[in-house]
Amino acid sequence: MVTGALPAPKPFRSPYLYHMRTFALLALFCLGFVFSSSAQQMAGNRGCATAAYVSAQKAAHPYLEQEQQQVQQAVQDKLQQQRKWQNMRALNTVTIPVVFHVVYGSEEENISDEQILSQLEVLNADFRRHNADAVNTPSYFAPYAADTRIEFCLAALSPNGDPTTGITRTQTSQAAFSFASDYIKKSPQGGKDAWDTSRYLNIWIGDIKDDVLGYATMPGTTLPQLDGVVLHYTAVGAAPANQFNTAYNLGRTATHEVGHWLGLDHIWGGEDASCSDSDGISDTPNQETYTTDCTGGIQISCDNGPYGNMYQNYMDYSNDACMNLFTHGQAAYMNAVISTSRNRLLSSLACSASIRSDFGLAQEGDTLTVAGKSVQFAAAPEGVRATAWHWEFEGGVPGTSTQENPEVTYPRPGKYSVKLTVSNGSTSDTEVKEDFVHVTVSDLTVYPVPASDYLYIEQPARILVRHVELLNSVGKTVLTAEVRNRTLQLDVHRLPPGIYFLRLVSTNGTEIRRVSIVR
């Protein structure tokens, strides 16, 4: 080993794989026998229930396994495209909107805005490596410490576009919440429903049972309405705003759990004491098990000398005062997650005072319709609440509208664009969707009749033609075609003039049309 170097890269193990336990363990988990032991892991020390929580989700929803694999593959593909992540200066800074949901049963649990705002400061400092204790990173690990280029902003807009403080408060009759039930995220059970999880990082704060300080959903392993991070109220923010006298009052529980939310695993891998697993990140030393305190010095395991365990990493279980870095590899992984499975956050306007125009249909379906039918549109802007709408409908009746959800009739076949400008008095935005509405003929149409060079077959929206044959007057097939578009063009200029029969096989059955070809 070269003096001063980290151990050789660990064999790759997906950061998701350690959540996969044996069927027997999952079955016991679902029956409720291991909730307490899985959650507590280390009584009196940092209690992270993310691994147990994800396992429970997968046991209850088997299809999540496949979704997780798809997300993992997308992240790996992204990392393959960006092999030079170590040059973090080349990365754009991304900002994630955050909403905090305080769910409280007592005044102690109803923590102050000051404590919550201090948590936001800690997240930004830790993820940008602006944390004051970055100077405590040992010199031998300092080259691996990264500015992740990830920032967090307090939501300024609610999902419906109204101004918000970015903090909700819900009084509950629940004495405490269990990660197993996840009731803190469910209004009917005394919790608080999530805001749109594609536009916000939802962080719930409450009293969590079983000595759990926090847990998180990981990308690809959650139901959308449950996506986010949960924190025990005593572990939120940093002293002096956090007045709870514990080893976890510097806000690092949130840093740790948001790391999970962005795809990172515990630094020691999936087993509590093993050198055969990994966190899947090449620049974190292989580590046998978690760190339960902050003893200092070099702690060697798994032949990871000369510098030993990176217990200063936010993804260990060290005390808050001992944590101070993410690595370049961890930063790369989190950015790849944001670029793939969490990419809708990149376009969120939740922290801005701007507006973005968008629209669709009032009811589910596509914009393929027949001539003479009406289509109802629905404005769906993002950002501040819209107060005015101006629509323009190419080929439609009416041609313009100021209604929020207008109904428009299209009398003639064709493809037409739709334009919507939304405003709220101080700001506006316009969206144009070309060929958004496709209007077909009202009945299956064959033209021209007679034909000379080309014969066209146009099908209406409600009929799908699958196969076409052209037969001569004695019943011999002279042309065949598979239909891939609404309008099919048959080249007949080489056929002799005469009477032909067109056989159309569609969702309406088989139909025969008589056509003539002239010269």
CATH of the domain at 467: 2.60.40.1930
Residues 99 and 246 in one domain: yes
Residues 152 and 191 in one domain: yes
Candidate from 210-224, 254-268, 380-394, 402-416 with smallest mean pLDDT: 210-224
Domain presence at residue 71: no
Label residue 277 by pLDDT band (50, 70, 90). confident
Its domain, for residue 481, covers 445-517
pLDDT tens per residue across span 146-158: 999 999 999 999 9
Residues 433 and 475 in one domain: no
**pLDDT exceeds 50 at position 183:** yes
Candidate from 19-28, 317-326, 455-464 with smallest mean pLDDT: 19-28
Q: Which of 389, 463, 487, 477 is nearest to 430 (CA)?
A: 389
Domain presence at residue 468: yes
pLDDT at residue number 181: 93
Helix (H) or strand (E) holding 374: strand 374-379
pLDDT tens per residue across span 27-46: 333 333 333 333 333 334 67
User: How long a stretch of residues is the chain?
Assistant: 519
381-386-389 Cα angle (round to 5): 85
Number of domains in the chain: 3
For residues 185 and 167, give the distance between their C-alpha atoms in angstroms, rounded to a whole number: 15
Domain presence at residue 159: yes
Last-in-domain residue among 347, 370, 402: 347
Label residue 85 by pLDDT band (50, 70, 90). low
For residues 133 and 256, give the distance between their C-alpha atoms in angstroms, rounded to a whole number: 16
224: how many CB neighbours lie within 10 A of its CB? 10
Identify the burial level of 255 via C-beta atoms within 10 angstroms of its C-beta, where 0-12 means exposed, 13-18 middle and 19 or more buried.
Answer: buried
Residue 137 near residue 314 (C-beta atoms within 8 A) = no
Last-in-domain residue among 440, 472, 494: 440
Residues 328 and 194 in one domain: yes
CATH number for the domain spanning 422: value is 2.60.40.10
Residues 398 and 464 in one domain: no
Q: What would the two tokens of residue 451 be?
A: 């034909």
Domain presence at residue 9: no
User: Catalytic: 434?
Assistant: no
**pLDDT exceeds 70 at position 17:** no
Residues 489 and 385 in one domain: no
The CA–CA distances, whole Å, from 342 to 201, 255, 335, 438 equal 10, 18, 10, 32
DSSP alpha helices (H): ranges in 180-339?
252-261, 328-339
Domain presence at residue 228: yes
Average pLDDT, the chain: 89
pLDDT at residue number 8: 43
Query: Which amino acid, one-letter code, is at 177?
Result: F
**pLDDT exceeds 70 at position 23:** no
pLDDT at residue number 122: 98
Residues 251 and 130 in one domain: yes
pLDDT tens per residue across span 287-329: 999 998 887 899 999 999 999 999 999 999 999 999 999 999 9
Residues 341 and 363 in one domain: no
Domain presence at residue 401: yes
Residues 172 and 308 in one domain: yes
Label residue 64 by pLDDT band (50, 70, 90). confident
Domain presence at residue 4: no
CATH number for the domain spanning 134: value is 3.40.390.10
Residues 237 and 265 in one domain: yes
Report the percentage of the chain scoring pLDDT > 90.
75
**pLDDT exceeds 90 at position 6:** no
Residues 415 and 296 in one domain: no
Domain presence at residue 273: yes
Q: What is the mean pLDDT of residues 5-12?
A: 44
Residues 432 and 456 in one domain: no
Last-in-domain residue among 396, 415, 440: 440
Q: Among the options 109, 257, 288, 382, which is catalytic?
A: 257
